[in-house]
């Protein structure tokens, strides 16, 4: 089923249809949150909040075909909320404890070819992209959507998405050049 | 194929619009052209680096189950947190009747409220830390593991990151399902058999103990001693 059919079914109370949407975009939303929050623990909590918020507010989605783009905008708000929550923590001991927990749970890259430091560089590179470039990169690399499909879910022209993706890729390639395979 | 054509196909790789025949043709060209081969390698590296560095530790299906559980009518409280503070549950009091003791579990109905109508395996929940979900074999709904959880052949358990479940297998051992792991309870005549689908399982068995096996996608582990751990990546 495509996103339009799933959103429509979810609105009618079909939670399993919403579950398919969660399964389809979980990795993408987590990736955005990891890039913005810096650790997987907070990112997965933010992702969970994102999907719960989306479920509660499905009636507010105007174009069912653009569910993914709408979901990513909710995810950004949830990440901003998470940042604000962190800033409110004034207890130094609690902060120290949180950072220890975060460091302990901060997963090294599962890619055996990347060190933890390199994985941090990758996350920083994605986090440094503007929202429009970040969207297309995450939907392409995490959700595996083609530029044609990305254009549908973001409500843009395929040519625009293609240009944005190629520019974003060029930026990422430059930032990862230090440890990427050589181009001859 | 010349490099100009190959470059357009590499762009198609990035766009996700490359067909299988086009990919084959590109690969054939790359066997003879180091420059294009390097560009392909660089593209694949960047894509995998992004995917791996921003990856989730939680399987999508685990996250889906947790989120659906939180959206369900039976949950009126605050949303479940995948990384919640530890929950310690009291052990249930069910006797393990395994195959070697002559107990046979038949097919059973799973009414809408999720209760089981046929005798269940006597497996106690000895400890549950964080979030672990379980699902009866013929049900579509996942439930949060609790002190009163009961199990039958075919049931599955999934632990979230930070979650851990310890099951007492009758009176002869403990099975610990580590974080981000998944197992199923399988039927086997005369032997208790657990299928580890993903993650890590540790078993601590008394000596002597009845036949105990753990199957994985790659093989079978038969308990000969008293302590062992199995991991499926």
How confident is the model over A43-83, as pLDDT tens digits? 888 898 899 999 989 989 999 999 999 999 999 999 998 87
Residue among B16, B33, B45, B54 with most chain A CBs within 10 A, to mutate: B54
Nearest alpha-carbon partner for B68 in A6, A47, A52, A5: A52
The residue among B66 and B12 whose pLDDT is bigger is: B12
Torsion angle, alpha carbons of A133, B56, A87, B80, to 10: 130
User: What is the distance in angstroms between the Cα of B202 and the nearest Cα belonging to chain A?
Assistant: 21
State the average pLDDT over residues B72-92.
Answer: 35
| Contact status of A111 with chain B (Cβ, < 8 Å) | yes
The alpha carbon of residue A35 and the mean position of all alpha carbons in its chain are separated, in whole angstroms, by 7
The average pLDDT across B89-113 equals: 31
Contact of B212 with B205, CB cutoff 8 Å = yes
Between A and B, how many residue pairs show a Cβ–Cβ distance under 8 A? 160
Contacting residues for B156 by C-beta, under 8 A, at least 6 apart: B134, B135, B137, B182, B183, B184, B185, B197
A27-31, A177-181, B17-21, B216-220: range with lowest mean pLDDT: A177-181
Beta bridge partners of B231: B200
Cα(B150)–Cα(B166) distance, rounded to whole angstroms? 14
Q: Which of residues B151 and A90 earns the better pLDDT score?
A: B151
Query: Is the distance from CB of B38 to CB of B49 less than 8 angstroms?
Result: no
Which residues of chain B have a CB within 8 Å of the CB of A18? 68, 71
Q: Read off the pLDDT of each residue in B157-183 and give the average, rounded to a whole number.
A: 85
User: In chain B, which residues have their Cβ closer than 8 Å to the Cβ of A162?
Assistant: 15
pLDDT band at B6 (very low <50, low <70, confident <90, very high): very high
Inform me whether the C-beta atom of residue B71 falls under 8 Å from chain A C-beta atoms: yes
Is A63 within 8 Å of chain B by CB?
A: no
Chain A contact for B83, CB < 8 A? yes
Q: Do B67 and A51 touch (CB under 8 A)?
A: yes
Whether residue B90 contacts residue B147, with contact meaning beta carbons closer than 8 Å, is answered with yes
Position B97 confidence tier, pLDDT thresholds 50, 70, 90: very low
Query: Cα(A182)–Cα(B209) distance, rounded to whole angstroms?
Result: 57
- The mean pLDDT value for B184-202 works out to 80
The pLDDT assigned to B179 comes to 84
Question: Which is nearest to B130 in space by CA: B97, B196, B177, B173?
Answer: B177
Q: Is B8 part of the contact surface with chain A (CB cutoff 8 Å)? A: no
Look at the alpha carbons of B60, A52, A135, B54 in this order and tell me if their dihedral is positive or negative: negative
How confident is the model over A121-145, as pLDDT tens digits? 899 999 999 999 999 999 999 999 9
Confidence of residue B172 (pLDDT cuts 50, 70, 90): confident
Q: By the 8 A CB rule, do B97 and B117 touch?
A: no
Question: What is the helix (H) or strand (E) element at residue B195, kind and residue range?
Answer: strand B192-205
Q: Per the structure block, which two tokens stand in for A14?
A: 């079909």
The residue in chain B having the minimum alpha-carbon distance to the alpha carbon of residue A102 is B83
Query: Does residue B99 register a pLDDT over 90?
Result: no
CA distance B146 to B68: 17
Among candidates B11, B34, B60 on the partner chain, residue whose Cβ is nearest the Cβ of A23: B60
CB contact under 8 A, B82 and A48: yes
Closest A-chain CA to B10: A166
Q: What is the pLDDT of residue B72?
A: 64
Distance from CA of A119 to the nearest CA of B (A): 5
Cβ contact, residue pair B64, A148, below 8 Å = no
pLDDT digits (tens, 9 = 90+) for A102-114: 443 344 444 556 7
Least CB–CB distance from B38: residue in A123, A166, A184: A184
Q: Is the pLDDT of residue B90 over 70?
A: no
Nearest to B46, CA basis, from B35, B57, B38: B38
Distance, CA of B74 to CA of B68 (rounded, Å): 11
pLDDT value at residue A178:
77
Is pLDDT larger for residue B166 or for residue B144? B166
**pLDDT category of residue A90 using cuts at 50, 70 and 90:** very low
The band of B140, judged by pLDDT with boundaries at 50, 70 and 90, is low
Of B42, B52, B54, the CB nearest to A180: B42
Going by C-beta distance under 8 Å and a sequence separation of 6 or more, which residues neighbour residue B60? A22, A23, A26, A27
Average pLDDT over all residues of chain A: 83
The answer to which of A24-38, A130-144, B59-73, B95-109 has the lowest mean pLDDT is B95-109
| Contact with chain A for residue B62, Cβ under 8 A | no
Running DSSP on this structure, what letter comes out for residue B184? E
Question: B197 pLDDT exceeds 90?
Answer: no
- Chain A residue with minimum CA distance to B17: A146
pLDDT digits (tens, 9 = 90+) for A2-25: 999 999 999 988 888 999 999 999
Please answer yes or no on whether B64 and A118 come within 8 Å at the CB atom.
no
Chain B CB contacts of A149 below 8 Å: 16
* Residue closest to A122 by CA, chosen among A105, A104, A139, A141: A141
Question: Helical H runs in chain B?
Answer: 3-15, 20-32, 34-53, 60-71
Pairing of strands B212-216, B219-222: antiparallel
Q: Would you call B14 and A169 a contact, using CB atoms and an 8 Å cutoff?
A: yes
- Name the CA radius of gyration of chain B, rounded: 24
Mean pLDDT to the nearest integer, B12-17? 95
The interface residues of chain B toward chain A in range 112-151, judged by CB-CB distance below 8 A, are 140
Tokens 């358990």 locate to B157
Q: B199: which strand partners? A: B232
Beta-sheet strands, E only, within A60-181: none
Question: How big is chain A, counted in residues?
Answer: 184
């Amino acid at each position: 089923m495509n996103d339009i059919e799933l959103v429509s079914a979810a609105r009618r109370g079909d939670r399993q249809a919403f579950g398919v949407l969660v399964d389809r975009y979980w990795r993408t939303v987590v990736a955005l949150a990891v890039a913005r929050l810096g650790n997987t623990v907070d990112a997965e909590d933010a992702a969970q909040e994102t999907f719960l918020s989306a479920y509660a507010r499905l009636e507010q989605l105007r174009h069912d075909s653009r569910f993914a783009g709408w979901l990513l905008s909710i995810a950004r708000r949830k990440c901003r909320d998470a940042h604000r929550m962190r800033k409110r923590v004034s207890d130094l001991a609690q902060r120290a404890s949180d950072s220890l927990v975060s460091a302990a749970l901060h997963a090294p890259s599962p890619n055996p070819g990347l060190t933890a430091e390199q994985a941090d560089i990758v996350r920083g590179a994605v986090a440094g992209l503007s929202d429009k470039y970040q969207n297309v990169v995450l939907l392409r690399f995490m959700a595996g959507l083609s530029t044609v499909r990305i254009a549908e879910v973001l409500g843009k022209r395929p040519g625009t998405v293609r240009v944005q993706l190629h520019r974003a890729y060029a930026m990422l390639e430059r930032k990862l050049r230090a440890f990427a395979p050589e181009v001859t | 194929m010349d490099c100009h054509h190959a470059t357009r196909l590499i762009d198609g790789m990035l766009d996700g619009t490359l067909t299988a025949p086009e990919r084959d043709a590109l690969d054939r060209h790359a066997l003879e052209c180091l420059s294009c081969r390097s560009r392909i390698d660089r593209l694949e590296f960047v894509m995998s680096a992004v995917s791996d560095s921003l990856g989730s530790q939680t399987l999508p299906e685990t996250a889906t189950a947790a989120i659906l559980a939180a959206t369900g009518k039976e949950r009126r409280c605050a949303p479940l947190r995948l990384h919640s503070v530890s929950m310690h549950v009291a052990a249930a009091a069910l006797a393990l009747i395994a195959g070697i003791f002559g107990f046979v579990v038949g097919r059973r109905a799973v009414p809408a409220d999720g209760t089981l109508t046929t005798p269940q395996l006597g497996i106690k929940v000895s400890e549950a830390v964080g979030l672990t979900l379980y699902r009866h074999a013929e049900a579509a709904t996942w439930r949060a593991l609790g002190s009163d959880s009961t199990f039958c052949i075919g049931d599955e358990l999934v632990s979230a990151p930070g979650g851990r479940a310890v099951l007492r297998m009758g009176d002869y051992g403990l099975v610990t399902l580590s974080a981000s792991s998944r197992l199923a309870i399988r039927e086997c005549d005369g032997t208790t058999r657990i299928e580890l689908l993903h993650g890590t399982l540790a078993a601590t068995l008394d000596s002597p103990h009845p036949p105990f096996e753990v199957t994985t996608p790659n093989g079978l582990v038969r308990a000969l001693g008293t302590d062992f751990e199995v991991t499926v990546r």
